[in-house]
């Protein structure tokens, strides 16, 4: 009897309108868990190398994690995966809400789509009955209209993941929405769904669906009870809640503190994060004000400085507290004790529904300080427009910032923006966001210049000569709202993770503090000598894939001790050790890397501005400038990869990845150059001073 999984994956061929169930061997679950672990195993072994991501050959997976569908806290996520049309390499994106658990509850561990339908279609899993239904009526509808239509037709118990107009129009920065506003946004996988003419995946489970068997339910519930009780204790309202609620006002002070202390690491941190995300009910918007001031949020397309270009009085207009005033009800994803989400009520929305999901921090920054927008009304309307069309808000903000700069430089002029609404055109500019919504609509509908912009800044800059400098991305994907100049390990993540430009991918900079308290078996993340940065980054990269494969929300990594090993054992009956868990994550990361090696998609491109070349001359990121190659070399060595990023044969063998060995003969890596002596010197200083509380200082002045 299987425990924790069903040993059943559904494979749908849209070209032949047929489907079948595959039953992977038990050892596949133990070696890859679920989520994109199972996803990369299936896609790697079934996808021909070199296919166009927007072709019938691409495979699109919907993969809940190993914990998803069980009562384990924070475990409600699913991953969408496939070859990315944005980067040409491995693509994955994840989403919370309630859709992921439904895949498990209907008796499946994953759903994969092959081929391409002739006409718009949607998959409807109704108990044990599987159907592909006509979606012609839904084509052209936004995600809320689509979900409402399906709910009306199939009843309120149906769970839906769907694309909007951006995915239908094959925008390479489009994603997939579930629960009326949770989005698997990154990697452009909405376009893959749009190409396949697959409008939605809908699930309505019934009593006849097989229950998920658990190895030791009693032990699992004991662990959960204990965890939730500790969490409740941390979340108790008190003095700290008040302080955190007003933390925005302390932003200038925090900017100075960060400069002098190097980090906010302390044992009380977990409690502080719990309170910040859940108790204050600010969710991730609790970071809006602070991040803009301390150098975390990129400002004005990465060329601005928070306190100068987006000072407190502007930042406050789109701050977490301001947004909270519109809150109708807080909510959380399946089994989440933190409940960081919220539904806002906003009458000015130009839709019949006057409710909207609260924008996350990433959105508030990308449609806020990145483009110098301090108008909350515009931010909420832009967020809702993008959610309905299902376009990634991080990438969309990056495109708008790129447009503003191209206009500032005279590369785009008024006539370039001719469209039905403005036959004479218009001129977007910094600090005047009056054309923001029109620009986004043009991108969603591929109208006029929107046709070029709909595929992200890299592709746009290839079509607009002279604009490469203003297109801020890492290996083709727009960089998220955590400035890569803060810390070279963050920038390293943006270029060296198989899905580039992701703040959720493993980085020593963002993860070491939380992981130290999350799972003490992981041991220390101390950096004692020059090569330790790469080694510790590798250690985090290995472990974090195991987390992702369980379907856990990564915000939980910052919220204190979690009985991770105990929960795996109680769900599956596997007597796992920490070493085995880390090895599982290592295997997943290495197969993702091999996917890119096979596709020739290991690259180290990051826009020069995003690594401080030239450096800013003022502000928290003053004179920060990095060459990432020495660090990348240390990281690859610690991962058992060659200097060019391609895994070594012995590493594949060690990880039971013999299935990838023969691909080594055609694998392509990156070409490394170590040119800039000045920057090399800085990275050496950074390595030496990593554990020094005043580590920010030695980097300035070089
Ligand atoms: S912390 Fe927020 S995003 Fe994460 S599972 Fe909970 S509600 Fe969802």
Q: Which of 68, 72, 73, 74, when mutated, tests ligand 1's pocket best, judged by the most ligand atoms within 8 Å of its CB? A: 74
| pLDDT band at 680; cut points 50, 70, 90 | low
Check whether 702 has a pLDDT greater than 50.
Answer: no
Please indicate whether residue 341, judged by its CB atom, sits closer than 6 Å to ligand 1. yes
Residue 361 beta carbon below 6 angstroms from any ligand 1 atom: no
Coil, helix or strand at residue 252: helix
Average of per-residue pLDDT across 296-303: 96
Q: Which stretch of 29-43, 212-226, 249-263, 580-594 has the lowest confidence by average pLDDT?
A: 249-263
**With a 6 A CB cut-off, is 472 part of the ligand 1 pocket?**
no
What's the CA gap between 163 and 319, in Å, rounded?
29
CA–centroid distance, 375 to ligand 1, in Å, is: 26
Mean predicted confidence (pLDDT) in 83-90:
98
Q: Which of 200-204, 428-432, 585-589, 678-682 has the lowest mean pLDDT?
A: 678-682
Q: Is pLDDT at 49 greater than 60 in this prediction? A: yes
Residue with token string 């032990």:
219
Residue 622 CB coordination number (10 Å): 18
**Length of the chain (residues):** 702
**Comparison of pLDDT for 253 and 583, the residue scoring more:** 583
Residues 310 and 542: their CA atoms lie apart, in Å, by 37
pLDDT, position 679: 55
Classified as helix, coil or strand, 433 is coil
| pLDDT score for 251 | 64
Alpha helices in 235-318 (DSSP H): 239-245, 251-261, 269-274, 288-294, 306-309, 312-315
Mutate to test the pocket of ligand 1, among 333, 547, 560 (most ligand atoms within 8 A of CB): 333
Q: How far is the CA of 73 from the centre of ligand 1 (A)?
A: 10
* Residue 239 in this model has a pLDDT that exceeds 90: no
pLDDT bracket for residue 411 (50, 70, 90): very high
Per-residue pLDDT reduced to its tens digit, 530-574: 778 899 999 999 999 999 999 999 999 989 999 999 999 999 999
Q: Tell me which of 265 and 573 has the higher pLDDT.
A: 573
Taking the C-alpha atoms of residue 24 and residue 26, their distance in angstroms, rounded to an integer, is 6
For the residues 214-229, what does the mean pLDDT come to?
97
The pLDDT assigned to 671 comes to: 77
Q: Is 337 in the pocket of ligand 1 (CB under 6 A)?
A: no
Per-residue pLDDT of 332-372, as tens digits, reads 999 999 999 999 999 999 999 999 999 999 999 999 999 99
Gap between the Cα atoms of 691 and 522, Å rounded: 18
Distance of CA 77 from the midpoint of ligand 1 (Å) = 9
Is residue 237 over pLDDT 80? Answer: no
d(CA 188, CA 167): 8
CA of 585 to the centre of ligand 1 (A): 22
Locus of tokens 């602070």: 290
- The atom of ligand 1 lying closest to the CA of 554 is 4
| Cβ atoms of residues 109 and 8 within 8 Å | yes
Burial class of residue 113 in the structure, from the number of CB atoms within 10 Å of its CB (0-12 exposed, 13-18 middle, 19+ buried): buried
Query: Would the CB of 340 count as within 6 Å of ligand 1?
Result: yes
Q: What's the confidence (pLDDT) of residue 694?
A: 37
Rounded to the nearest angstrom, the distance between the alpha carbon of 182 and the centre of ligand 1 is: 11
337 CA closest ligand 1 atom index: 6
Distance 277 CA to ligand 1 centre (A): 9
Distance CA 547, CA 544 (A): 5
Contacts of 218 by beta carbon, 8 Å cutoff, 6+ apart? none
Least confident of 129-133, 188-192, 631-635: 631-635
Per-residue buried b or exposed e for 71-92, using 16+ beta carbons within 10 Å of the residue's own CB: bbbbbbbbbbbbbbbbbbbbbb
Question: For all residues of the chain together, what is the average pLDDT?
Answer: 92
- What pLDDT sits at residue 682? 60
The band of 266, judged by pLDDT with boundaries at 50, 70 and 90, is low
Q: For the chain, what percent of residues have pLDDT higher than 70?
A: 91
Q: What is the pLDDT of residues 105-140, one digit of tens each?
A: 999 999 999 999 999 999 999 999 999 999 999 999
Tell me which of 613 and 198 has the higher pLDDT.
198
Report the pLDDT value the prediction gives residue 262, as an integer from 0 to 100.
46
Nearest to 311 by CA among 326, 342, 289: 289
Distance from C-alpha of 13 to C-alpha of 4, rounded to nearest angstrom: 27
Domains and CATH numbers, the chain: 9-204 (3.60.9.10), 285-478 (1.10.569.10), 488-699 (1.10.599.10)
Distance (Å) from CA 334 to ligand 1 centroid = 8
Instruction: With H, G, I as helix, E, B as strand and everything else as coil, classify residue 513.
Output: helix
Question: What angle is formed at CA 316 by the lines to CA 315 and CA 317, rounded to 5 degrees?
Answer: 90
SS3 134: strand
User: Checking phi first, is residue 201 left (phi over 0); if not, alpha (psi -120 to 50) or beta?
Assistant: beta
Q: Report which DSSP code applies to 429.
A: B
* Residue 79 near residue 63, CB atoms below 8 Å: yes
Q: SS3 helix, strand, coil % of the chain, rounded to 5? A: 45, 10, 40
Indicate the Cα dihedral angle 559, 564, 570, 574, nearest 10°: 170
Residue 635 to residue 640: CA distance in whole angstroms: 9
- Minimum CA distance residue for ligand 1 atom 2: 340
E-strand stretches of 115-247: 121-126, 129-134, 159-162, 176-178, 182-184, 198-204
Q: What is the mean pLDDT of residues 308-328?
A: 95
- For the entire predicted model, the pTM comes to 0.93
- Tokens describing residue 542: 């290995």
Q: How far apart are CA 493 and CA 479, in angstroms?
A: 11
* SS3 (DSSP) at 199: strand
């Amino acid at each position: 009897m299987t425990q924790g999984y069903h040993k059943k994956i559904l494979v749908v061929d849209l070209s032949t309108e047929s489907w079948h169930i595959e039953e992977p061997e038990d050892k596949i679950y133990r070696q890859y868990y679920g989520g994109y672990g199972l996803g990369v195993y299936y896609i790697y072994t079934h996808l021909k190398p070199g296919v166009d991501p927007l072709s019938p050959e691409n495979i699109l997976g919907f993969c809940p994690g190993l914990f998803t569908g069980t009562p384990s806290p924070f475990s409600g996520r699913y991953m969408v995966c496939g070859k990315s049309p944005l980067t040409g390499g491995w693509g994955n994106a994840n989403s919370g809400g309630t859709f992921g658990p439904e895949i498990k509850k209907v008796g499946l561990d994953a759903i994969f789509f092959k081929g391409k339908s002739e006409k718009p279609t949607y998959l409807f899993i109704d108990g044990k009955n599987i159907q592909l239904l006509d979606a012609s009526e839904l084509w052209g509808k936004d995600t809320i209209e689509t979900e409402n239509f399906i709910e009306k037709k199939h009843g309120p118990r149906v769970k839906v993941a769907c694309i909007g107009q951006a995915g239908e129009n094959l925008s390479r920065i489009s994603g997939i929405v579930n629960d009326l506003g949770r989005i698997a946004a990154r990697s452009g996988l909405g376009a893959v769904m749009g190409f396949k003419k697959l409008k939605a995946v809908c699930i309505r489970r019934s009593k006849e669906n097989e229950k998920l068997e658990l190895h030791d339910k009693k032990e699992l519930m004991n662990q959960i009870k204990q965890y939730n009780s500790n969490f409740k204790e941390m979340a108790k309202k008190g003095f700290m809640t008040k302080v955190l609620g007003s933390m925005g006002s302390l932003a200038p002070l925090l900017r100075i503190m960060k400069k002098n202390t190097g980090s906010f690491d302390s044992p009380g941190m977990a409690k502080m994060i719990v309170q910040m995300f859940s108790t204050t009910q600010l969710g991730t918007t609790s970071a809006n004000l602070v991040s803009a001031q301390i150098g975390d949020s990129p400002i004005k397309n990465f060329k601005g400085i928070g306190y100068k270009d987006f000072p407190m009085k502007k930042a406050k207009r789109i701050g977490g507290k301001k947004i909270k005033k519109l809150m109708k009800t807080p909510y959380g994803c399946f089994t989440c004790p933190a409940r960081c989400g919220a539904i806002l009520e906003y009458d000015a929305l130009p839709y019949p529904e006057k409710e909207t999901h609260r924008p996350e921090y990433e959105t508030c920054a990308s449609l806020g300080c990145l483009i110098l927008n301090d108008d909350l009304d515009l931010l909420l309307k832009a967020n809702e427009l993008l959610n309905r069309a299902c376009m990634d808000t991080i990438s969309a903000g990056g495109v708008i910032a790129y447009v503003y700069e191209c206009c500032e430089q005279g590369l785009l002029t008024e006539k370039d923006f001719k469209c039905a609404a403005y036959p004479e055109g218009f001129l977007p500019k910094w600090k005047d966001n009056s054309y923001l919504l029109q620009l986004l609509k043009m991108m969603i509908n591929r109208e006029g210049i929107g046709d070029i912009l709909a595929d992200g800044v890299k592709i746009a800059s290839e079509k607009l000569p002279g604009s490469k400098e203003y297109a801020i991305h890492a290996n083709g994907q727009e960089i998220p709202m955590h400035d890569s100049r803060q810390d070279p390990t963050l920038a390293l993540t943006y270029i060296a993770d198989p899905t580039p430009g992701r703040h959720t991918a493993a980085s020593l900079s963002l993860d070491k503090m939380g992981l130290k308290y999350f799972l003490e078996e992981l041991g220390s993340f101390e950096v004692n000598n020059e090569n330790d940065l790469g080694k510790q980054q590798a250690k985090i990269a290995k472990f974090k894939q195991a987390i992702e494969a369980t379907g856990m929300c990564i915000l939980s990594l910052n919220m204190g001790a979690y009985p991770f090993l105990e929960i795996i054992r109680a769900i599956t009956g596997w007597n796992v050790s920490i070493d085995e868990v880390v090895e599982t994550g290592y295997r997943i990361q290495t197969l993702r890397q091999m996917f890119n090696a096979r596709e020739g998609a290991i690259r180290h491109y990051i826009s020069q501005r995003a690594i401080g070349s030239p450096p800013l001359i003022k502000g928290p990121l003053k004179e920060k400038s990095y060459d990432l190659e020495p660090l990348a070399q240390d990281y690859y060595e610690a991962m058992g990869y060659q200097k060019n990023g391609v895994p070594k044969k012995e590493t594949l063998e060690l990880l039971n990845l013999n299935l990838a060995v023969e691909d080594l003969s055609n694998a392509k890596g990156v070409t490394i150059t170590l040119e800039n002596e000045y920057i090399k010197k800085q990275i050496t200083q950074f390595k030496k001073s990593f554990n020094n509380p005043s580590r920010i200082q030695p980097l300035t002045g070089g």
